[in-house]
Chain A
Amino acid sequence: MTNGEEQKKVIKKSLFKRFENSTVLSIFIAFFVIVVISQIGKTGGSEFPTFISPVNLMNIVQQVAVPGMVAVGMTIVMISGGIDLSVGMLASLVAIVTALGLTKWQIGILPSVLLGIGVAIVLDTILGYIISRTKVEPFIITLGGMITFQGLALLLSNSREVMMHGELDFLKTNLIGGAIDPVTGLNLVIPPYVLIFLVIVVVGWLLLTFTKYGRRIYAVGSNPNAAYLAGVNVRNMKLSAYAINGFLVGIGSVMLLARINVGIITLGQSLEIDTIAMAVIGGTALSGGKGNIWGTFFGVLLMGSIGNAMNMLRFPPEVQYVAKGIIIIIAVSISYVYANVSTSISRLSKHKFSK
């Protein structure tokens, strides 16, 4: 390639490429605008669109907080070049272990919570160990993990739910008690687990962007051979990504248990699909080395908003699957579509100039 060609390539860089998160952000904004317009259209503009009322926005954040925490872990794993299908069943297992600790085994709140989180870290680290020490695809190993964890959870709970008596209710107390939404007049609620989610997002962002660790994770996912020759301990970096993910699954699972108040196998169902989708919408690549926490954050909010908006617009709940699916496809293919459009535009304009 000559230097001239390369200069052109640099100049041609599109808006979509210059800001990493512009794809997910533009979809996110477009989605909000569409929903608000259709709400205004329905009421004829006589009412404030309730979709963007503070109480509803809080509601969305509450709903996505738990999958959001796990999505942060999933993003780190995927940037390192891996994937973790086991998170859903791991979350169910952890919730059941914690619930058993609180009720049947009566070991107290803190020990039960620590036990649950510990189990999550240990099990995901084992998967990470196998993945980083062998050449077997992480997809297969974590698929095996998922089935194993499901079995363990069913064994421990005798295939029944573990009822709780509000032992973890302190995790859902309202931190801003008495605050009123000026639009709807309803009480505003921010429970602790929403704060924890936001803290995890910020810490995840700092970890990936402002530390040596983050740089190495990207390097490992981008090109493990080059990373090894540049002095990066590729195996341990991969291992650590799963350990961190396990920790976040553990925390998320305890929060989920606090919300639902019953330890049951369905708690974590399809969590892996949702979190992978959130990360992917946010621009994380399955091939590794690409992605960032803020992209995932907006992916999380977008996924949460879809179901909520469908309810508001009185669509049947089945429709939201279709909508979610289509939005995932748009999110991952739009940059390719855009690249093609921009090259054909530039080809056209070149044609014009040459004439």
Chain B
Amino acid sequence: MPDKEILRLENINKSFPGVKALQNISFDLRKGEVHCLCGENGAGKSTLIKILSGAYQPDEGGEIIFEGKIVKLNPNLAISMGIQTIYQEHTVFTHLSVIENIFTGLEMGKNGVLQKKEMKKKTEEVLKYLKSDLDPYALMGDLSSGQQRTVEIAKGLIFQRKVIILDEPTASFSVSEIDNLLGIIMTVKESGIGIIYISHHLEEVFKIADRITVLRDGQKVSVYDLKDVTTEKLIKDMVGRDPSTFYKREDVPFGEVIFEARNVTGNGTKNVSLKLKRGEILGFSGMAGSGRSELMNVLFGAANIESGEILINGKVVKQAGPSNAIRNRMCFITEDRQNTGLFLNQTIAQNTIIANLVNTREFFMSPSGDNKVGDKFIKLLGIKARSSRVRVINLSGGNQQKVVLAKWFNTNGEIFIFDEPTRGLDVGSKQEIYQIMVDLLKQGKAIIMVSSDMPEVIAMSDRVIVMKNGEVTAELSKNEVSEENILTYSIGGSKI
């Protein structure tokens, strides 16, 4: 039905330094259609919608065809042509009202005076059409995230957009809000708007999709009409890497249980239990927002534990803040090294000594002593820097990550939490970090690893716990670990 087509991408490529984020993507969207994009973390969904919204420019060669014309998009042009993107992170003005949020930047005016009545009338009309009982004067900040999404969609209707893109809209929704939003999408679709919908939740996809496109590692794998596809088929398409290309790590014999969590609840996670042995890597998998990092914060004492208990070496410990965790020989390599791991404008030496201050008694310290510690780890971990007086901000990502490791190794920790240990690193640095992790295991230490990088989880983990919505959905033993199994438990509907 080419006459109903609004948008078509032909052979779109996008590469970033060292990564091909999209390869030869072709994609099309029709009027009044909900077209869902599926794929693992990092499959290229977000890059694709950033190209559609004009935030990224595709590489040379491909074409974007909008209503039959070849276009070159930028954010302003995309909006003026009628492509509205509703991002995962909220981009609303919390101190302004619903009306003001809808009309910001596109206020209706006459001779420089706002047409407030006109704007209110339009807002009310659209909200009524969407069967929403929102007050047009309500402050955006007082609304739930579901209601905020409704307002953003209302904006799309008022300005007669032709395409609305929703990126993970239901991430923080309650069940009723999800149903409500899906209902609104069905209404909007009737008016002829084309909708691109991205979600990790396959049950939502099956409720509203007309067509589904599956991406994997930046490539388009398949496109289906809803009636031709099953959950199993989708998951098969989303996985399918060759496991022989994964990193091969040495196996290390396990020792006794060093760390245990019993029914831990708090910080958005519910009732999580786990056991970790010396010499073992326990992987945590799940989609973004499944509560893995939140759980790690609870285990480390950086977020409050509501109920449940944590045992180290068989003894119940109090989780009273990170300093206590460090005394209990825990280490936490966070996912965002620049914001929560490093002191960027400080030297390697200053970064290295800071966590171990909890364990030392001496009040007096000398800078030359710090530098010795820094130099020791520069040698030990192969950090590429002239001396330990180099500021961390001048190091590459891989070397920065090693400084984070140095900080924790210096505390003599035994229980390591690695949250996305190799995010943003090149292949060489990744393998170095993997080798360091295996060396830790050989010393009888234990590792909990959160990772969204599927090959990493599969290659490195002895066991994998899969999480979804803050809860554990599966614990997979070494021979059960496969891309398909992990994905099934992290996105599959409740029926699985």
Contacts and interface: CB of A to CB of B under 8 A. Distances in A.
Contact of A10 (B327, B344, B386): B386
Given A210-B365, A223-B344, A289-B345, A228 B357 contact: no
B391 to A, nearest CB: 8
B324 to A, nearest CB: 8
B338 to A, nearest CB: 9
Nearest to B324: A231
Interface string B25-42: 000000000000000000
B346 A229 contact: no
Contacts of A290: 345
A215 B350 contact: yes
Given A211-B363, A215-B357, A226 B397 contact: no
B479 interface: no
Interface string B359-373: 010111111001000
Given A216-B357, A223-B339, A223-B343, A211 B384 contact: no
A318 to B, nearest CB: 38
A212 B394 contact: no
B448 to A, nearest CB: 15
Interface stretch (A1-9, A171-179, A240-248): A1-9
A287 B297 CA distance: 27
A83 to B, nearest CB: 18
A211 B366 CA distance: 7
Nearest to A225: B340
Instruction: Name the interface size band of chain B.
Output: 35 or more
Given A226-B343, A231-B358, A6 B395 contact: yes
Max chain B CB contacts within 10 Å: which of A210, A215, A233? A215
Contact of B360 (A1, A6, A212, A223): A212
A231 B322 contact: yes
Instruction: Name the interface size band of chain A.
Output: 20 to 34
A108 to B, nearest CB: 35
B353 interface: yes
B354 A230 contact: yes
A215 B407 CA distance: 14
Contacts of A219: 343, 346, 350, 354
B46 interface: no
Given A3-B396, A6-B394, A218-B346, A232 B365 contact: no
B218 to A, nearest CB: 22
A213 interface: yes
B322 A1 contact: no
Interface in A279-327: 289-290
A3 to B, nearest CB: 5
Nearest to B394: A9
A1 B353 CA distance: 26
B284 interface: no
B323 A233 contact: yes
Interface in A216-260: 216, 218-219, 222-223, 225-233
B6 interface: no
A11 B321 CA distance: 40
A266 interface: no
Contacts of A228: 302, 322
Contacts of B343: 218-219, 222-223, 226-227, 289
A26 interface: no
A1 B384 contact: no
A344 interface: no
Contacts of A212: 357, 360, 362-365
Interface string B372-407: 000000000000111000100011110100000001
A1 B343 CA distance: 19
Contacts of B354: 215-216, 219, 227, 230, 232
A343 interface: no
B272 to A, nearest CB: 20
14 contacts: A10-B394, A210-B366, A215-B365, A218-B343, A219-B343, A222-B343, A223-B340, A223-B342, A225-B340, A226-B341, A227-B354, A229-B340, A230-B355, A232-B323
10 nearest CB pairs, A to B? A231-B323, A231-B358, A222-B343, A230-B355, A1-B396, A231-B326, A225-B340, A10-B386, A230-B354, A223-B343
Given A212-B362, A229-B322, A231-B357, 7 more contacts: A6-B396, A210-B366, A219-B354, A230-B322, A230-B326, A231-B355, A232-B323
Interface of A: 1-3, 5-7, 9-11, 209-213, 215-216, 218-219, 222-223, 225-233, 289-290
